[in-house]
Structure 1
Amino acid sequence: MTILRPVKEFFFPDVRERLYTEELMDRADVSLKKLRRTIDQFDLLNHLFSSAVSLFRRQILPDLRRDPQRVWTFWDLGAGGADIDRALVRLCRRQGLKVRFFALDIDERILPWARDKSRDYPEIEVVKGSALELSALVGRVSDRPDWVLSNHMLHHLDYSDVLKVIHEAEAVATSGYLLNDLRRSAWAYAGYTIFTGLFVHGSLAFYDGRLSIRRGFSITELENLVSAWPESQRPEIFQAAPARVVLWRHKQKEICG
């Protein structure tokens, strides 16, 4: 049993408590080459494992279809290489919908890369901006967005900043917000370890991705975070496959009944 313990910990660590260890990609001294390779690999990893597109299709797309002539605006927080935005634009194009995405990220090392990769997407504008200061971006980035989105961004923050992001999203979004992140799961950790160990090399994705899962959340933790809010202002919090936790608020739904 002693011999097998390191193997078990490598694939199935104790995920009951959230880790706060800094990810390599968040460090100022990280290799730019590896950082950009990681951003490139997010195209594949998010396509396979993120629920961002399916959540958008289920939670937001029905509203967009009700007013297909309108230009809908989205702020995507911590957008990285903007691969999710490109996927969502392709979806909206197929639906004949008019959209404008503002891909926000605070990391200036990534912005030129994201702009280059999105050059064939006039619907996307890559902008430097902090998810913690959305109110200050109104009028500079665009008018208030219809929707605020994020994908795998919240786990980079401590709880106080997660709460601030939710407050800011509530303040600026006219329709609502959809914040999608990682749920801590030993099985998700094992699956990600095996997949990236076999198929994803030469980047930060193996180390940072495993750490990201351990920096993720449980449903209970996020529910406790907003438990003091009036019930009418709390986001709906639910799980999505594979091993995702989602904060969802639709303001217009309340108005429309």
Structure 2
Amino acid sequence: MIAGFPSLDTRAVDAVEEMDRPDADRQRLDRTYAQFWLVNAVVSGWRRNYVRYLRPVFAQSGGGTLLDIGSGGGDVPRSIARWARRDGLALEVTAIDPDPRAHAFASALPALPGLTFRQAYSHELAAEGRSYDVVISNHMLHHLAPAELQALLADSEQLARRLCLHSDIERSRWAYALFAVGTLPFFPGSFIRADGLTSIRRSFTAAELAAVTPPGWQGLQQWPWQNLLVSAPSSREEDQRAG
């Protein structure tokens, strides 16, 4: 263990992020949503995910539909909508979050063609019979209890026609150390630093995530310290036939 840092040998499943508390300070919360874009641009790798996974799917038909589950401040779906438009793809993005505070923040931003925000859970969309070409989430898996994680993956399988891609932080001592040091002089008045460190403590290692992932999903590791869960209808059908 790095001196002065908590043990990261096991997940801190009981740790609670400040922004998840119902009584979180609204000004600090909105500032956190507003600063997410910078953190995600540096550590989340969604430009890489778009180029490697999403764009090839949408390029086959010139566009399509995408669902982002747990969209928070909305920076990831906004980026994907912009990239697709720049590439000449007719992509319709739906971004959902059940937290009314996140939905209010994201919905108040300037409208972007092809992007819609909705306050909802994934199971509500599944119950409505909705479907999308691609289903994604960013840094959400570590927030979920075991049953909630399984429910999310089941919802994703039902909602996605072509691809599911869930990206999350991978817990490691170096990730914790670098985030702690790198964010120290930045993000005043927000929950970014404290909650980011809590997120790392709550996150899965690649082996832990693989142990709770159902058949039909592939776990991948990406630099820096990212876990990806990837699934496609064709791979799920092959697993079911093999079983």
Superposed pair shares fold, TM > 0.5: yes
How far did 1:93 drift?
Answer: 1.3
Q: Does 1:33 align with 2:27?
A: yes
Counterpart AA for 1:97: L
Match of 2:116 in 1: 125
- Aligned counterparts of 2:166 and 2:213: Cα–Cα separation in 1: 14
Counterpart AA for 2:154: H
In the alignment, which of 225, 228, 232 is matched to residue 243 of structure 1? Answer: 225
Specify the SS of the correspondent of 1:147. Answer: strand
In the alignment, which of 83, 87, 93 is matched to residue 75 of structure 2? Answer: 83
Distance 1:254 1:152, change over 3 A: closer
Q: Does 1:214 align with 2:195?
A: no
- Aligned counterparts of 1:55 and 1:187: Cα–Cα separation in 2: 23
Match of 1:55 in 2: 49
Distance 1:35 1:248, change over 3 A: same
Match of 1:74 in 2: 66
Distance 1:207 1:137, change over 3 A: farther
How far did 1:150 drift?
Answer: 0.1
User: Does the 8 A contact of 1:177 with 1:248 survive in 2?
Assistant: yes
How far did 1:182 drift?
Answer: 0.8
How far did 1:197 drift?
Answer: 0.8
Segments of 5+ residues of structure 2 without an aligned counterpart are 238-243
Segments of 5+ residues of structure 1 without an aligned counterpart are none
- Aligned counterparts of 1:160 and 1:254: Cα–Cα separation in 2: 20
Q: How does 1:161-180 map to 2 (within 5 A)?
A: 161-180=148-167
Counterpart AA for 2:94: F
RMSD between aligned alpha carbons? 1.9
- Aligned counterparts of 2:235 and 2:200: Cα–Cα separation in 1: 32
CA distances 1:103-123 after superposition (whole Å, capped 9, x unpaired): 100110121210122x23021
CA distances 1:137-178 after superposition (whole Å, capped 9, x unpaired): 43xxxx311111000011111122111101110011111200
CA distances 1:90-135 after superposition (whole Å, capped 9, x unpaired): 1111110011111100110121210122x23021111011135441
Counterpart AA for 1:135: A
- Aligned counterparts of 2:194 and 2:106: Cα–Cα separation in 1: 22
Counterpart AA for 1:15: L
Corresponding pairs, count: 237
TM-score (norm 2): 0.91
Counterpart AA for 2:233: K
Stretches of 4+ aligned residues off by more than 4 angstroms: 252-255
TM-score (norm 1): 0.87
Specify the SS of the correspondent of 1:92. Answer: helix
